[in-house]
Structure 1
């Protein structure tokens, strides 16, 4: 007989752990966290490439209820984030609820029984409520390049870094110049015999403000009540100040562009290379990237930047549109993640057997407040469509987790078996988000980024300040939901 729990959570990253910890704080122990890896950490457990570092300050890329006065750097490194999350899990006693090495293979809503039936690699279970916290940066995007499987050398994606492979003295090719590549390229270049970077679109690079956190600052955070909280609030306000430029008037981003151009001019002396490294789109249209080491790596004597498109991959290397075959020993794919077609979307099936992936392929990537989805009762998404605020994903997560807890309270108070957002409420939120983002730099800045769905809709961002998102997720308006109640004899009414 399969186990039944009140809440099943998929994923043990910030979203899954945040949900689990909040449930414990609310006195809810009847839950399980299903994690396919062998440790907590999510994005920061699997993305361990050299140079992996968060591009959001540690003070706001952490739980508000678990301040860490001992961050070693202003912008946290991957290993430190992973350790922080492990300590949070231990301190809040959620590890006993985590099933490691457990991969969800199928989840379907049983409308008659009013519960979720979940199949995993370690056994089946049922749950009243399902929380999807799979994370947007967990499924690598492998480019469909002819001949990739014929290459005689070593190939790996940055998300699955081959730490056993020695790059010293090798001819290394990197495909992609996004956020991950900008971080690992400076680590690869000194090792490689020669580094060839295949660039499709240049990236705006801003000076990185990262620095060590002094012992004095750490001491103040530990000993002065409210000091770290005040510093966190200051960083939140700093990032919130960018919202008008992102959303309403992209011209306000001009100072950032001037900073990026100054860094490029300072670090890249060759005018021809500098021209190829200069984006044609507005700053902010793609994900902002910070580095003080990226341009020096590209201008090193053992590095080459190739801007011609890739035609095919042969046994010996990469052939570009100009006919050149670039002979290589190793190819590293810095090609990002499957944001719009994450395989996890096809594992969760709502009413009538339709999967999230099917629903979003048939229409638009949409969810009410980025959290609930019509035809998927008792399903709550973490970091779903249009939930991304401009401070930190962890701030979004905490607001969504609060909303989930409020929904659980409403269900308990009113003896509800299920809650399902109405199609009308979901559509209204989608249209409101689209209108709010219509003048944003993401849509008017002249680029195509992972922020956009296949139809060109920005499915990533919330069209306003984080305080607005927090206000909208502070309570559950049952007028936006269809509720099924429990009759006195214990069956749905």
Structure 2
């Protein structure tokens, strides 16, 4: 291994020292997981910047009725911080938020938090080998390294529905649920039938006087093996050596088959795919006896084309007398209701928008929050015009000193936390190596980036997603180039092994000639000025 940096750059006459060694953007599971790994590696000079008023990411912002994980809780946690006390197999959102708070407290992350701060722009300063980040208030923050932990779903989608702004009643977005508003007896309309609606709609139907659900495409929903975990089982998970790890491994394998193997390898696992689809269809038949209603709820695309969901009561909700499933398109929203494409006007009191998010790799996200890298590289233009490409789903040659928790082809799918831990491990290895070499800028080599893309791209090309069965799915698994860059088409084991064994020389290391005698003083002055 190389013991010296590749290049040495002369600094400006009066070089700038960054305020922080690492800035982490995002206070959800991704940002906190990376922060814990940095601390464990002895890297304490970091700040976690979160635009919300509290940590948790999606588990703080999404508090709609019955919000819960859609994978078993034993999988939905860090491998190094296993919780034996989940109250049920699929924990509710409040319980997940409590786990997040526990992690922040146990690993001493609170002093590193900077809440209520939104980063609106990032620019690479080549002369000083640092990132300049601009907040919504115009304040500048500088950092040697940036870790982006934005999550998969960043901003609510902007809706192109005629007259939407004219509605005079109550509008509720699922991302910011208004619990103070009483739905009892109200005429409610929900637009959208994705994973959020699968959880939320049955609860709204219990309170509403009448509920209209506007559906563009039905979703695959199978039975949810959700049950309360008795205290004796919780104690066994805590005290019996290896029990929780073993169950977690089995559950992770099942999730990976359901969410990844069928999507990626479904063409070669056709019997498995057909069996799961048959079982899900039978579940629908058991819950909905009306053949016309059942037809409306049956997807026209194959199983695995979109992320499936789980619920024991979603299908059954549409058999209630106060619920109507509407598959006719929306022509416009009026001050008092919704007009469908056939001209029928349905009056409502409340409009609930469950219409999804912009993905974190969407050009739209980075047009509104520009990122400028080396030699004028623009991340929005890259995502718009180029095929999504990032080494191990984590770094790009044009973005020095930057690591992404959710980049192209990053998520292995068995568990979000597996991906977070892999990214954190990768990031710490590179930063530690840069410090060992005395480097101030590191960037993945273009040839290494191309090599990973040549490895990953063929594996994502011949999938169920690209087959005729998925033609009508409109799945977010595919980006606007038609590539399945949302998922890493490998096993979680392969992704984890890669994070431990990738060659550190796949990165180039550069040194800025910063006078050692003045570096610490400038950093202290920068922090003082920031305070």
- If the length of structure 2 is used for normalisation, what is the TM-score? 0.89
Q: Within 2, Cα distance between the matches of 1:244 and 1:161?
A: 34
Shift of the 428–318 alpha-carbon distance from structure 1 to 2, 3 Å rule, reads: farther
Q: Within 2, Cα distance between the matches of 1:449 and 1:19?
A: 29
Superposed displacement of residue 142, structure 1: 3.2
Q: Does 1:468 align with 2:494?
A: yes
Q: Does 1:22 align with 2:48?
A: no
| Equivalence for 2:528 | none
Contact 1:15-1:397 within 8 A present in 2 as well: yes
Q: Within 1, Cα distance between the matches of 2:129 and 2:274?
A: 53
Q: Within 2, Cα distance between the matches of 1:151 and 1:353?
A: 43
Q: Does 1:442 align with 2:465?
A: yes
Q: Does 1:267 align with 2:287?
A: yes
Contact 2:17-2:128 within 8 A present in 1 as well: no
Out of 359, 362, 365, which is 1:343 matched to? 365
Contact 1:203-1:289 within 8 A present in 2 as well: yes
Of stretches 337-346 and 75-84 in structure 1, the one that deviates more from structure 2 is 337-346
Q: Within 2, Cα distance between the matches of 1:364 and 1:18?
A: 28
Instruction: Report the secondary structure of 2:211's partner residue.
Output: strand
Of stretches 407-416 and 235-244 in structure 1, the one that deviates more from structure 2 is 235-244
Q: Within 2, Cα distance between the matches of 1:141 and 1:399?
A: 29
Superposed displacement of residue 344, structure 1: 5.3
Deviations 1:3-33 (A, max 9, x none): 6111100011001000111111111111110
Superposed displacement of residue 215, structure 1: 0.9
| Equivalence for 1:321 | 341
Deviations 1:285-304 (A, max 9, x none): 01111011111211100000
Instruction: Report the secondary structure of 2:52's partner residue.
Output: coil
| Equivalence for 1:45 | 60
Contact 1:13-1:133 within 8 A present in 2 as well: yes
Deviations 1:337-395 (A, max 9, x none): 11124635733321244432222112133322111022110110002111111211111
Aligned residues: 491
Q: Within 1, Cα distance between the matches of 2:104 and 2:70?
A: 23
Contact 2:430-2:504 within 8 A present in 1 as well: no
Superposed displacement of residue 280, structure 1: 1.2
- Which one has a bigger Cα radius of gyration? 2
Shift of the 227–344 alpha-carbon distance from structure 1 to 2, 3 Å rule, reads: farther
Q: Does 1:255 align with 2:275?
A: yes
Out of 246, 263, 272, which is 1:246 matched to? 263
Q: Greater relative contact order: 1 or 2 (C-alpha under 8 angstroms, separation 6 or more)?
A: 2
Of stretches 429-438 and 63-72 in structure 1, the one that deviates more from structure 2 is 429-438
| Equivalence for 1:165 | 181
Instruction: Report the secondary structure of 1:238's partner residue.
Output: helix
Contact 1:142-1:157 within 8 A present in 2 as well: no
Superposed displacement of residue 112, structure 1: 1.1
The alignment yields a C-alpha RMSD, in angstroms, of 1.9
Superposed displacement of residue 120, structure 1: 2.1
Q: Within 2, Cα distance between the matches of 1:159 and 1:170?
A: 21
Out of 92, 98, 119, which is 1:77 matched to? 92
Q: Within 2, Cα distance between the matches of 1:156 and 1:257?
A: 33
Q: Within 2, Cα distance between the matches of 1:27 and 1:41?
A: 24
Q: Within 1, Cα distance between the matches of 2:487 and 2:33?
A: 21
Superposed displacement of residue 448, structure 1: 1.9
Contact 1:207-1:259 within 8 A present in 2 as well: no
| Equivalence for 1:459 | 485
Of stretches 435-444 and 376-385 in structure 1, the one that deviates more from structure 2 is 435-444
Out of 315, 321, 332, which is 2:352 matched to? 332
Q: Does 1:233 align with 2:249?
A: yes
Contact 1:34-1:103 within 8 A present in 2 as well: yes
Contact 1:43-1:138 within 8 A present in 2 as well: no
Q: Within 1, Cα distance between the matches of 2:509 and 2:187?
A: 61
Contact 2:154-2:357 within 8 A present in 1 as well: yes
Shift of the 3–417 alpha-carbon distance from structure 1 to 2, 3 Å rule, reads: closer
Superposed displacement of residue 258, structure 1: 1.2
Contact 1:406-1:476 within 8 A present in 2 as well: no
Deviations 1:144-179 (A, max 9, x none): 111100111111221111222221111111111000
Q: Within 1, Cα distance between the matches of 2:381 and 2:104?
A: 34
Contact 2:397-2:445 within 8 A present in 1 as well: yes
Q: Within 2, Cα distance between the matches of 1:308 and 1:417?
A: 58
Contact 2:18-2:130 within 8 A present in 1 as well: no
| Equivalence for 1:141 | 157
Q: Within 1, Cα distance between the matches of 2:514 and 2:133?
A: 27
Q: Within 2, Cα distance between the matches of 1:312 and 1:431?
A: 46
| Equivalence for 2:144 | 128
Out of 509, 513, 526, which is 1:483 matched to? 509
Superposed displacement of residue 93, structure 1: 0.5
Instruction: Report the secondary structure of 1:383's partner residue.
Output: coil
Q: Within 2, Cα distance between the matches of 1:86 and 1:347?
A: 31
Within a 5 Å distance, the mapping from 1:83-94 to structure 2 comes to 83-94=98-109
Superposed displacement of residue 2, structure 1: 9.2
* Gaps in structure 1 of 5+ consecutive residues: none
Instruction: Report the secondary structure of 1:108's partner residue.
Output: strand
Q: Does 1:366 align with 2:389?
A: yes
Superposed displacement of residue 489, structure 1: 5.7
Q: Within 1, Cα distance between the matches of 2:435 and 2:100?
A: 30
Contact 1:107-1:347 within 8 A present in 2 as well: yes
Of stretches 149-158 and 198-207 in structure 1, the one that deviates more from structure 2 is 149-158
- If the length of structure 1 is used for normalisation, what is the TM-score? 0.95
Deviations 1:253-287 (A, max 9, x none): 11211111111101111111111111111111011
